[in-house]
């Protein structure tokens, strides 16, 4: 039954747009463009074109009832994150999630709360193998 269609891999520009959509929810091109303006400096039509491409790829859905089309993410943030991590595991960590985790934890100083959250997950993983 499970037809697990491999979620498409977003490019960098696409990922930036997806993040806006995940954060804001349904948005017009203008919304996304303004949200990205603080960080990047891409033209309006560039964002438009990218979102059209993403629509063709099935990364977003689109409601064109009104003049300004409204876009929504068609992929789950968690699924994309999982994909990106698996790709990174294959390419740079020989598949070892633990190496990646160790490396990630040593990059940034974490707050006690964050460390506690990770510890809690470890507990759960050890309990239910």
Interface positions with DNA (CB under 7 A): 9, 11-14, 28-30, 40-46, 48-50, 52-53, 64, 66-69
Residue 7 tokens, joined: 């979620």
CB of 63 to a second copy, least distance (A): 26
Q: Which is nearer to a second copy, 9 or 68 (CB)?
A: 9
Nearest one of 1, 98, 39 to 13, comparing CA atoms: 39
Query: Are the C-beta atoms of residues 50 and 17 closer than 8 Å to each other?
Result: yes
Under the binding rule (CB under 8 A), the answer on residue 80 touching a second copy is yes
What is the sign of the dihedral through the CA atoms of 11, 59, 84 and 29? Answer: positive
Q: How far apart are alpha carbons 83 and 8 in whole angstroms? A: 9
11 binds, among a second copy, DNA, none (CB under 5 to 8 A by kind): DNA
CB of 118 to a second copy, least distance (A): 6
CB of 117 to a second copy, least distance (A): 6
Cβ neighbours for 51, distance < 8 A, ≥ 6 positions apart? 17, 29, 32, 60, 71
Q: How far apart are alpha carbons 15 and 118 in whole angstroms? A: 26
Under the binding rule (CB under 8 A), the answer on residue 20 touching a second copy is no
Q: Which residues bind a second copy (CB under 8 A)?
A: 12, 15-16, 19, 78, 80-82, 84-86, 88-89, 91-94, 97-110, 112, 114-115, 117-119, 121-122, 125-126, 129
């Amino acid at each position: 039954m499970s037809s697990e269609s491999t979620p498409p891999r977003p490019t960098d520009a696409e990922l930036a747009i997806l993040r806006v959509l995940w954060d804001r929810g349904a948005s017009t091109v203008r919304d996304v463009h303004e949200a990205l303006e603080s960080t990047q400096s891409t033209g309006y039509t560039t964002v438009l074109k990218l979102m059209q491409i993403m629509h063709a790829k099935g990364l977003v859905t689109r409601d064109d009832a009104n003049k300004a089309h409204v876009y929504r993410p068609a992929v789950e943030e968690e699924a994309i994150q999982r994909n990106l991590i698996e790709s990174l595991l294959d390419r740079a960590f020989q598949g070892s999630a633990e190496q990646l985790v160790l490396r990630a934890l040593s990059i940034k100083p974490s707050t006690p709360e964050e460390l506690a959250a990770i510890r809690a997950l470890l507990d759960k993983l050890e309990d239910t193998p």
